[in-house]
Structure 1
Amino acid sequence: MSKILNVAHLGKTYTSGSKKLTVLDDITFSIEAGETFAIVGPSGSGKTTLLGLCAGLDRPDTGSVELCGTYLGDLSEDELALLRNREVGFIFQNFQLLPTLTALENVVVPLELRGSKNPKSIGMDLLDKVGLKDRFHHYPSQLSGGEQQRVALARAFSSRPSILFADEPTGNLDQETGDKVVQLLFDLNQDAGTTLVIVTHDVDLARRTGRILRLKGGKILANETSEAS
């Protein structure tokens, strides 16, 4: 298997007034293509910051990120955006659906940006897979939290990304709804063969992945094989 993500000696520091806060310190790990991978740790351990750096949403102060064979530090902002549009999918805790678009339109947007053929047909098929085919014309405000996250799942997989980053995907959902969303996430991921990277507080969710990276105070505490693998 080939490495889809290589992170080497990554560091990130923020300045607040006269104080400097080191959020990530000398982080090194890699992920194989097709792997499922969880990043866990207490609040403030640097999980979301690390996810953003891996996805090219932010730039590190030290170290490097190689994503899909490309060193992100070599790219301009426009080139980063093109790489993300071509290779990367995202799922966020707060869904981040566009409020003025219907469920179907939200799913179809990435496909239209890529110039895909038959985007509406693909979008309807994905909404059917997440159990929302009869809600395609509803706006986010007309959907429950669980339904919105299912639309977000369909959108994330619509462009068949090489790697999908999920930041606390069940954080705003109750246990039962979260469990259903997680099952859909893993089912869709298995169908697509996508590399899946999840940031989560949920130990049970992390254990469903193949490997777990544990952070504490911006440092790696452990990089271990999960019980599920």
Structure 2
Amino acid sequence: MSKILNVTQLGKTYASGNKTLTVLEDVSFSIDTGETFAIVGPSGSGKTTLLGLCAGLDQTDQGTVHLCGVALNELNEDERALLRNREVGFIFQNFQLLPTLTALENVAVPLELQGQKNTHGIAAELLEKVGLQDRKHHYPSQLSGGEQQRVALARAFSSTPSILFADEPTGNLDSETGQKVVELLFDLNKEAGTTLVIVTHDMELAQKTQRILKLKGGKVVTEENQKL
């Protein structure tokens, strides 16, 4: 099984006044292509920072990240953006839909960035998969939180990413709505064969993945294999 993500001795610090704040220290792990993987830990443990470094949204201070066989620290910002556009999908806690675009247009954006044809046709099919075919011409402000996150799911899978990063995907949803979104996420992921990396404080969600990495104080505490 090939490795889609290799993280080696990763470190990240920030200047805080005249002090240096260590957010991540000596973090190493790897993820197989097609695997489902959770990063868990208490608030402030470095989970979201780690996700940003793995996805090339930020640069490391120490260590290396290889994503899809490419060393991210050897790329400039534009090159990292191109790699993300080609290989990476995102789902965020606060949905991050474009407010001036309809659900259909939001889902079509990654396809248009990739120069695909029939973008609205593909987007409409994906919205049907997440049960929103009747809401495709609605704007985010006209949709509930659960509906917005389902649009975000459809958008994330629209560009057929090699790897999908989900940062607290149910964090802004009630438990029942969150459960439906999680089921959709795993169903779509299984169908697409995408590698899925979830950052969450919700152990019930984490236990649906094949492996769990636990962080505390910016360090790896344990790594567990799940018997799924």
Q: TM-score category by the smaller chain?
A: over 0.9
Between the aligned partners of 2:219 and 2:171, the Cα distance in structure 1 is 23
Name the structure 2 match of 1:92: 92
Name the structure 1 match of 2:108: 108
Between the aligned partners of 1:149 and 1:211, the Cα distance in structure 2 is 24
Between the aligned partners of 2:200 and 2:208, the Cα distance in structure 1 is 12
The DSSP-based 3-state class of the residue aligned with 1:73 is helix
Between the aligned partners of 1:120 and 1:36, the Cα distance in structure 2 is 29
1:26 equivalenced with 2:26 (yes/no): yes
Name the structure 2 match of 1:173: 173
Name the structure 2 match of 1:196: 196
Displacement over 3 Å in runs of 4+: none
Name the structure 1 match of 2:219: 219
Between the aligned partners of 1:182 and 1:226, the Cα distance in structure 2 is 18
Superposition deviation, residue 50 in structure 1: 0.1
Between the aligned partners of 2:12 and 2:52, the Cα distance in structure 1 is 11
1:159 equivalenced with 2:159 (yes/no): yes
Superposition deviation, residue 118 in structure 1: 1.1
Q: Across the two proteins, how many residue pairs are aligned to each other?
A: 228
Between the aligned partners of 1:206 and 1:17, the Cα distance in structure 2 is 35
The DSSP-based 3-state class of the residue aligned with 2:122 is helix
Letter in 2 for 1:132: L
The DSSP-based 3-state class of the residue aligned with 1:42 is coil
Question: Root-mean-square deviation (CA), in Å?
Answer: 0.5
Name the structure 1 match of 2:64: 64
Q: Deviations over 1:57-111 (max 9, x none)?
A: 0001000000000000111111100000000000000000000000000000000
Name the structure 1 match of 2:4: 4
Between the aligned partners of 1:200 and 1:185, the Cα distance in structure 2 is 14
Superposition deviation, residue 20 in structure 1: 1.0
Instruction: Mark the runs of 5 or more structure 1 residues left unpaired by the alignment.
Output: none
Between the aligned partners of 2:174 and 2:134, the Cα distance in structure 1 is 23
Q: Which deviates more, 114-123 or 178-187?
A: 114-123
Letter in 2 for 1:83: L
Instruction: Mark the runs of 5 or more structure 2 residues left unpaired by the alignment.
Output: none
Name the structure 2 match of 1:13: 13
Letter in 2 for 1:4: I
The DSSP-based 3-state class of the residue aligned with 1:38 is strand
The DSSP-based 3-state class of the residue aligned with 2:173 is coil
Between the aligned partners of 2:81 and 2:13, the Cα distance in structure 1 is 23
The DSSP-based 3-state class of the residue aligned with 1:120 is helix
Q: Deviations over 1:144-183 (max 9, x none)?
A: 0000000000000000000000000000000000000000
Identity rate, percent: 77
The DSSP-based 3-state class of the residue aligned with 1:185 is helix
Name the structure 2 match of 1:147: 147
Superposition deviation, residue 19 in structure 1: 1.1
Between the aligned partners of 2:115 and 2:12, the Cα distance in structure 1 is 36
TM-score norm. by structure 1 comes to 0.99
